[in-house]
């Protein structure tokens, strides 16, 4: 496999002690195994997530992402930007496209960036980690790397919203994307193509501001996973992961259910299947333990 | 002005086109209702997107800008993916929300509006989000005793997160950030000034 070098934008929630710090650990393990080098963008800032609009206007928001792109173009010249986070990828890619389409907006953003001695060129591709896996690595190469197939595990592929829309993964349908199921199969587990909530919204930031409304949707996602016989849920999105995992206690109280469904990342699955231990796969970072994965990892 | 170039379009539509993010798309809506049927929060909206667009065209300025509906958008982009006319609905919703806020017309105590501001202030302090402080600000936004109640109600969740090392009490001391938050603040302040300067007066 050819070595791949990428300019890496991890995002706030991936930082040490933050909600998806375990995503970063498992993604790094996965990339080591796949010979992908992640060069972090020096001094990157928050992308504004999906709720940034509530405090900052259009240009301030686009400028936040333009700053990250400018830093990447300066320090990691020639490398594509990749992010493991749905919102980070969406905002960064959107900023790049919007500024390139609109000359005035580009000028305005650069006038603002000049205050910090930066300049946005907008020549670099912005991709999601999953795109690199699907397009540059491929399912067969993933399969070839598997040392401990995740045999007998039934895994519901929960793609969520923003990894799937508005950009989505090239060649995949917005309504029924298949790549996550294919990754599940590539690591030797059983996918659940009939999991009907695979692109259902988890509530995003409204999990915080409107918990009842959001938890009603999360309830539906977990319920569908159980009804389809899933042992666990896998997702590419840090916010989906957090929302679907951490509120299960509260949902059980509201709905009288006994949910105890592990929710892991594709990078967790790959790290274990590629033969790495539970710590490298960041299985210790879960509130609901993925016991079956822990067993395979310790074999 | 010759009579042929006389413009009859109502001024609220013009206002939205000029001042709301992607507002120039509103007139392209053909009222098919696909967006309303696709929205996961749809049942909680007083007015689904296509109704909002119709109301804008009908000049219902107060009613649109004081609506709670656009704050219900989770940014799931389902409407954008499905709209047969390609309207950037999500962006228009966000744009209407901030515009109503700019004019002081948004509903009082709208929780997502409050969270949006808390989030933005939090990220602007250091350039990166401090999840712990953000959570606490959200819990305590309605005063101290409500804050204690909220924190107690979510105590187990917090403990679980700490145990999994996905929440760090030390964040309260400082936390992650960019090297010079002052420079970032200058950049964003400039961007905000430029944006404010682009707003047209319709009052
Ligand atoms: S889907 Fe598009 S065209 Fe149809 S009602 Fe909604 S905004 Fe209008
Ligand atoms: S992006 Fe907003 S308006 Fe559109 S479907 Fe999702 S929640 Fe509804």
Tens of pLDDT, residues A37-56: 999 999 999 999 989 898 99
Nearest to A204 among B75, B120, B164 (CB): B75
Closest CA of chain B from A72, distance in Å: 14
- Separation of CA B188 and ligand 2 centre (Å): 27
Token look-up 């592929």 returns: A157
Ligand 1 geometric centre to CA of A164 (Å): 20
Q: Which of A46, A279, A287 to mutate to test the interface with B (most CBs of B within 10 A)?
A: A46
Identify the three-state secondary structure at position A83: strand
ipTM score here?
A: 0.94
Are A66 and A72 contacting, i.e. CB atoms less than 8 angstroms apart? Answer: no
Q: What is the 3-state secondary structure (H, E, C) of B102-171?
A: HCCCCCCCCHHHHHHHHHHHHHHHHCCCCHHHHHHHHHCCCCHHHHHHHHHHCHHHHHHHHHCCCCCHHH
- State if residue B56 touches ligand 1 by the CB under 6 angstroms criterion: no
Query: B116 and chain A: CB distance < 8 Å anywhere?
Result: yes
What length does chain A have?
299
> Are the CB atoms for A165 and B76 separated by under 8 Å?
yes
Residue range A67-87: mean pLDDT, rounded: 97
Sign of the dihedral defined by the CA atoms of residues B124, B126, B130, B133, in that order? negative
Ligand 1 centroid – CA B35 distance (Å): 5
Contact (Cβ atoms closer than 8 angstroms) between residue B77 and residue A166: yes
Containing H/E element for B4?
none
Q: Which residues, other chains included, contact B23 with Cβ-Cβ below 8 Å and sequence gap of 6+?
A: B16, B17, B92, B95
Residue nearest atom 3 of ligand 2, based on CA coordinates? B73
Integer Cα distance of A222 and A224 in angstroms: 5
Lining residues, ligand 2, CB within 6 Å: B 38-41, 49, 73-79, 89-90, 93
| Residues of A in Cβ contact (< 8 Å) with B195 | 57-60, 108
Q: Is the CB of B35 under 6 A from ligand 1?
A: yes
Task: Kindly state the DSSP code that residue B3 receives in the 8-state scheme.
Answer: G
| Residues of B with Cβ-Cβ distance to A246 under 8 angstroms | 157, 160-161
- The set of long-range contacts for A73-79, using a CB threshold of 8 Å and a minimum separation of 24, is A73/A120, A73/A121, A73/A123, A73/A124, A74/A118, A75/A7, A75/A41, A75/A42, A76/A7, A76/A39, A76/A41, A79/A5, A79/A6, A79/A7, A79/A39, A79/A124
Nearest to B191 among A19, A112, A201 (CB): A112
- Tell if the CB–CB gap between A55 and B127 is shorter than 8 Å: no
Q: Is the CB of B89 under 6 A from ligand 1?
A: yes
Residue-wise pLDDT for A110-140, tens only, equals 999 999 999 999 999 999 999 999 999 999 9
If you measure CA to CA, which chain B residue comes closest to A14?
A: B166
Own/partner long-range contacts of B132-137 (Cβ < 8 Å, ≥24 apart): B132/B167, B132/B168, B132/B169, B132/B171, B132/B172, B132/B175, B133/B171, B133/B172, B133/B175, B135/A208, B136/B172
Vertex A182: Cα angle to A178 and A188 (nearest 5): 155
| Alpha-carbon gap: A271 to the closest alpha carbon of chain B (Å) | 18
Write down the residue that tokens 């098919």 correspond to. B32
pLDDT of res. B2: 43
Output the pLDDT for position B139: 65
pLDDT in tens, chain B (203 residues): 444 555 556 799 999 999 999 999 999 999 999 999 999 998 999 999 999 999 999 999 999 999 999 999 999 999 999 999 999 999 999 999 999 999 999 999 999 999 999 989 989 999 997 777 666 666 667 776 676 677 767 778 777 877 777 777 666 666 788 888 999 999 999 999 999 999 998 87
Instruction: Answer positive or negative: Cα dihedral of A167, A97, B130, B68.
Output: negative
Dist. CA A44–CA A64, nearest whole Å: 9
- Write down the pLDDT at residue B161: 76
Query: A51 and B195: CB-CB below 8 Å?
Result: no
B173 in contact with chain A, both atoms CB, cutoff 8 A: no
The 3-state secondary structure of A267-299 reads HHHHHHHCCCCCCCCCHHHCCCCCHHHHHHHCC
Chain A's closest residue to B196, CA to CA, is A57
> Which structure tokens are listed for A118?
């930066």
Q: How many residues does chain B have?
A: 203
Among all residues of chain A, which has the CA nearest to that of B72?
A206
Which chain B residue shows the shortest CA-CA distance from A116? B183
More confident residue, A254 or B133: A254
Sign of the Cα pseudo-torsion (B115, B116, B117, B122, in order):
positive
């Amino acid at each position: 496999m050819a070595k791949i070098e990428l300019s890496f934008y991890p995002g706030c929630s991936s930082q040490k002690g933050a909600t998806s710090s375990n995503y970063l650990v498992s993604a790094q393990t996965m990339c080591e195994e796949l010979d992908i080098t992640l060069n972090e963008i020096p001094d990157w800032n928050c992308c504004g997530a999906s709720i940034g609009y509530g405090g900052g206007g259009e240009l301030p928001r686009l400028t936040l992402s333009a700053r990250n792109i400018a830093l990447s173009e300066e320090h990691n010249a020639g490398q594509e930007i990749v992010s493991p986070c749905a919102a980070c990828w969406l905002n960064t890619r959107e900023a790049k496209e919007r500024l390139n389409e609109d000359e005035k907006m580009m000028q305005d953003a650069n006038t603002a960036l000049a205050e910090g001695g930066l300049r946005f060129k907008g020549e670099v591709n912005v991709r999601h980690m999953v795109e690199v896996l699907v397009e540059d690595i491929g399912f067969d190469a993933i399969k070839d790397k598997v040392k401990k197939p995740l045999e007998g595990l039934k895994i519901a592929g929960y793609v969520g919203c923003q990894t799937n829309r508005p950009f989505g993964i090239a060649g995949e349908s917005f309504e029924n994307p298949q790549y996550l199921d294919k990754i599940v199969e590539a690591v030797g587990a059983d996918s659940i193509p009939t999991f009907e909530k695979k692109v259902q919204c988890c509530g995003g930031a409204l999990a915080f501001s409107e918990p009842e409304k959001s938890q009603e949707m999360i309830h539906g996602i977990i319920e569908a996973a159980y009804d389809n016989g899933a042992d666990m849920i896998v997702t590419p999105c840090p916010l989906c992961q957090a929302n679907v995992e951490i509120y299960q206690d509260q949902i059980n109280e509201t709905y009288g259910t006994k949910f105890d469904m592990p929710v892991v990342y594709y990078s967790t699955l790959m790290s274990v299947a590629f033969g790495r231990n539970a710590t490298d796969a960041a299985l210790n970072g879960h509130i609901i333990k993925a016991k079956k994965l822990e067993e395979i990892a310790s074999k | 002005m010759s009579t042929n170039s006389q413009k009859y379009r109502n001024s609220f539509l013009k206002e939205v086109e000029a001042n709301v993010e992607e507002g120039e798309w509103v007139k392209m809506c053909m009222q098919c209702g696909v967006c309303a049927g696709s929205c996961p929060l749809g049942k909680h909206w007083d007015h689904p997107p296509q109704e909002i667009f119709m109301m804008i065209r009908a000049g219902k300025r107060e009613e649109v800008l004081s609506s709670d509906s656009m704050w219900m958008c989770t940014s799931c982009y389902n409407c954008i993916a499905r709209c047969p006319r390609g309207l950037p609905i999500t962006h228009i919703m966000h744009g209407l929300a901030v515009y109503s806020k700019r004019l002081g017309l948004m509903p009082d105590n709208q929780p997502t509006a409050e969270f949006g501001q808390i989030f933005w202030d939090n990220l602007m302090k250091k350039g990166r989000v401090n999840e712990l402080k953000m959570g606490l600000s959200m819990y305590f936004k309605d005063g101290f005793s409500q804050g204690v109640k909220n924190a107690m109600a979510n105590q187990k969740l917090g403990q679980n997160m700490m145990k999994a090392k996905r929440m760090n009490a030390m964040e309260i001391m400082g936390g992650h950030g960019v090297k010079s938050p002052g420079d970032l603040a200058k950049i964003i302040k400039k961007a905000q000034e430029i944006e404010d300067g682009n707003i047209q007066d319709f009052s």
